[in-house]
Amino acid sequence: MLVALAASPALAAGDPERGAQVYEGCQDCHSLDKNDVGPRHRGVFGRKAGSLPDFAYSPALNGAGFLWDEASLDKWLTDPQAFLPGVRMFYHLASPQDRADVIAFLRQRAK
């Protein structure tokens, strides 16, 4: 399993500076510090999915129970509807490098 994770291109080292640029496309619905159409991203790493008390999540995310980390964010950003059917998010990042860069950005700046 570790070999499979290490071989995953999306889990390769991302560039947080480039991730900040890619993240601009996410800001139609999200920001680091305030809820909007989507929940805020500050502190997303290690946060239980669907757990911000001041955001109205879909029932699918309310009961998800996993923690946000590199692997779950990569799956989410690849295709949120396939990862967790019933969620409201439809936006995705097809490029493994874009996903890795956004994940690096969130890891570095969303503490």
Q: Are 105 and 16 in contact (CB under 8 A)?
A: yes
Q: What is the number of other CB atoms lying within 10 angstroms of the CB of residue 74?
A: 22
Number of domains into which the chain is organized: 1
Query: For the chain, give me the number of helices (H) and strands (E)?
Result: 6, 0
Give residue 19's domain range. 10-109
Residue 3 falls inside a structural domain: no
Burial (CB < 10 A; 0-12, 13-18, 19+), residue 49, is buried
What's the pLDDT tens digit per position in 22-58?
999 999 999 999 999 999 999 999 999 999 999 999 9
Residue 100 falls inside a structural domain: yes
The pTM (predicted TM-score) of the whole model is 0.86
Q: Find the CATH number of the domain harbouring 45.
A: 1.10.760.10
Compute CA 34 distance to the chain's CA centroid, rounded to the nearest angstrom.
16
- Predicted confidence band at 82 (pLDDT cuts at 50, 70, 90)? very high
SS (H, E, C) 13-46: CCCHHHHHHHHHHHHHCCCCCCCCCCCCCCCCCC
